[in-house]
């Protein structure tokens, strides 16, 4: 099992502001203190954001890490983004 397979809990964020997404990348890193933190932001670069219609998906190893990310995002970034979806069994996809 690769470490990416531990990251089952995802949240997809829609925002038209890439600077906001960049800030959220740092927050996702902070909210994922366990193994391989960079996996939480895997697939959230600007080209991927553009390709996916201004959406990115962050991945976490637990519901509590995902919840911390959502709660902190609401406090720090009260507008200009929305949750487009959440999944409980959604490891990061492989890059093409």
Backbone angles phi, psi at 57, to 5 degrees: -120, 125
Residues 75 and 2: beta-carbon distance below 8 Å? no
In 2-89, DSSP assigns E strands to: 9-14, 55-60, 82-87
Nearest residue to 9 via CA among 52, 71, 58 = 58
In angstroms, rounded to a whole number, what is the distance separating the alpha carbons of residues 31 and 20?
16
When pLDDT is cut at 50, 70 and 90, the band that residue 45 belongs to is very high
Greater model confidence, 75 or 96:
75
Residues 28 and 40: beta-carbon distance below 8 Å? yes
Nearest residue to 40 via CA among 6, 72, 73, 86 = 6
When pLDDT is cut at 50, 70 and 90, the band that residue 37 belongs to is confident
């Amino acid at each position: 099992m690769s470490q990416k397979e531990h990251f089952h809990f995802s949240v997809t964020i829609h925002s038209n502001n890439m600077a906001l997404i960049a800030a959220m990348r740092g927050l996702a890193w902070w909210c994922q203190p366990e193994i391989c933190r960079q996996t939480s932001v895997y697939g959230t670069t600007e080209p991927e954001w553009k390709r996916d219609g201004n959406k990115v998906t962050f991945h976490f190893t637990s519901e509590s890490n995902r919840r911390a990310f959502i709660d902190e995002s609401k406090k720090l970034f009260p507008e200009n983004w929305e949750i487009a979806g959440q999944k409980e069994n959604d490891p990061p996809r492989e890059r093409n």
